[in-house]
Amino acid sequence: MSGDSWALQLRDVTKRYGDFTAVNGLSLSVPPGCIFGFLGPNGAGKTTSIRMILEIIRPTSGSITVLGSNSALAVRRRIGYLPEEKGLYKKMKAWAIVAYFATLKGVDSRTAKRTAFALLERYGLGAFAEKKSETLSKGMGQKVQLLAALAHDPEFVILDEPFSGLDPVNQEVLEEIVVDLRRRGRTVLFSTHVMSHAERLCDRLSIMAGGKKIFEGTPAEARAMLPPRVLLRTNQSVAPLQQLSGVTASRQLANGAWELQLSSGTDPQGILQACFEQRLVLSSFSAEAPALHDVFVHLVGDQAREVKLR
């Protein structure tokens, strides 16, 4: 793919604030029409990267191409953005906020107003369209802001931690919105540190830690980074199983189950066969691919803990 055919491409982008490097040599390619997850612990540099993508701040070095343009501001009408820290004009009515941001993105005021009412109605806020935003609940306000980011029907939507602060029902609604955007051929980039959303939604993802990219690929490719494993429950000793050639490590989990890590290419059926041969009485046995959560913890766990402790 050439630079123009990516929805977004970052090449060796670095952002420094004095001695502190917030983003270090980040390269990234987001194909059009996909949902791209931007994962990383707090302080990984996700928001800084998003601000640079949107040209809110400028990178210290490197280059960014958004929708074929070197300037996000030049194509701003084709981009929708929901920032991490949400806020609204307190004294403005819900419909007016949605319409105002749509007009800033080039929609004429009449269409913007009509779209605002239609969107609020569609997403269950029709009764609150005429209410001032200060009277809305936090979740409602967040929904209004999301609609404000989408009212001009952008090609490329950037959502920074969109699920934080939403209740489970509204998280589901947001997931539906994101999937619907992809169905309509839009590109979505969203940042999160909640892996379950990324697991369900992302076509591709990138994991950042300490300002650097440590993974980019599909969720399956991410999961493949960790060896396969089996989980079993037994009251007897699993020592004989630990001696098997395909088992690389074992540990007892907090719930009492045993996790056996297997070398790649080892067939879990062989482990089950060995259990029978050793006459182990099993109350459960399952072969599981590693979850994205495990990959994430495996890749950034130490750094995330460091950041948290600092």
Partner 1 sequence: MFHIAFLVAAREYLENLKTKGFWFGIILFPLIWTAAIKIPILIEKKGVPTRYFVVSDPSSKWKGLIDREIDQRYQREVLDELVSYARRNLKRPADLAEWLDHWSESSAVEEFITKGGQPGFLKELEGLLETGAPLFSPPRRRFQSIPLPSEVPESPRETLIDRLRPWLKGDEKLQVENQSVNLFAAVLIPHVLRDSGATASSGAKKSSAEGNIEFWSDNLADVGLEQLVTESIGRELRTAAYQVKGMDAAAVKAIESIHVPLISLNPRKAAGEEQVGLGDRIRQWIPSVFVYLLWVAVFVTAQMLLTSVIEEKSNRIIEVLLSSVTPEELMAGKLAGIALTGLTMLAFWIITSMGVLWVNIGHGGGSGGGSGSVENIPIDLLNLMQTTWLLPAFLGYFALGFLVYATFFLALGSTCNTLKEAQNMMGMIMPILLVPLFTIPFIPRDPNGTLARVLSWIPPFTPFVMMNRVTGHPPMIDVFGTLIMLVGFVFLELLAAARIFRIGVLRTGQPPRWMELLRWVTQKA
What is the binding site for partner 1 (CB under 8 A)?
A: 51, 54, 56-57, 72-73, 76, 79, 81-83, 85-92, 100-101, 103-105, 145, 148-149
Please, what is the minimum distance in Å from the beta carbon of residue 106 to partner 1? 9
Cβ neighbours of 79 (radius 10 Å)? 24
Nearer to partner 1, 5 or 109 (CB): 109
In three-state secondary structure terms, 228 is coil
Say how far apart CA 113 and CA 236 lie, in whole Å.
Answer: 68
Please, what is the minimum distance in Å from the beta carbon of residue 85 to partner 1? 4
Nearer to partner 1, 82 or 201 (CB): 82
Nearer to partner 1, 100 or 285 (CB): 100
Please, what is the minimum distance in Å from the beta carbon of residue 83 to partner 1? 4
Nearer to partner 1, 52 or 299 (CB): 52
Q: Going by DSSP bridges, is the β-strand pair 35-39/187-192 parallel, antiparallel, or unpaired? A: parallel
Please, what is the minimum distance in Å from the beta carbon of residue 76 to partner 1? 6
Q: Going by DSSP bridges, is the β-strand pair 212-217/258-262 parallel, antiparallel, or unpaired? A: unpaired
Please, what is the minimum distance in Å from the beta carbon of residue 19 to partner 1? 16
C-alpha triplet 47, 52, 56: angle, nearest 5°: 95
**Max CA distance (Å), the chain:** 76
* CB of 265 closer than 8 Å to CB of 247: no
One-letter-per-residue 3-state SS of 244-304:
CCCEEEEEECCCCCEEEEECCCCCHHHHHHHHHHCCCCEEEEEEECCCHHHHHHHHHHHHH
Nearer to partner 1, 104 or 249 (CB): 104
Nearer to partner 1, 20 or 276 (CB): 20
- Is the dihedral angle over the CA atoms 75, 81, 83, 88 positive or is it negative? positive
Please, what is the minimum distance in Å from the beta carbon of residue 142 to partner 1? 12
Nearer to partner 1, 92 or 274 (CB): 92
Please, what is the minimum distance in Å from the beta carbon of residue 56 to partner 1? 5
Measuring CA to CA, which residue among 257, 264, 271 is closest to residue 289? 264
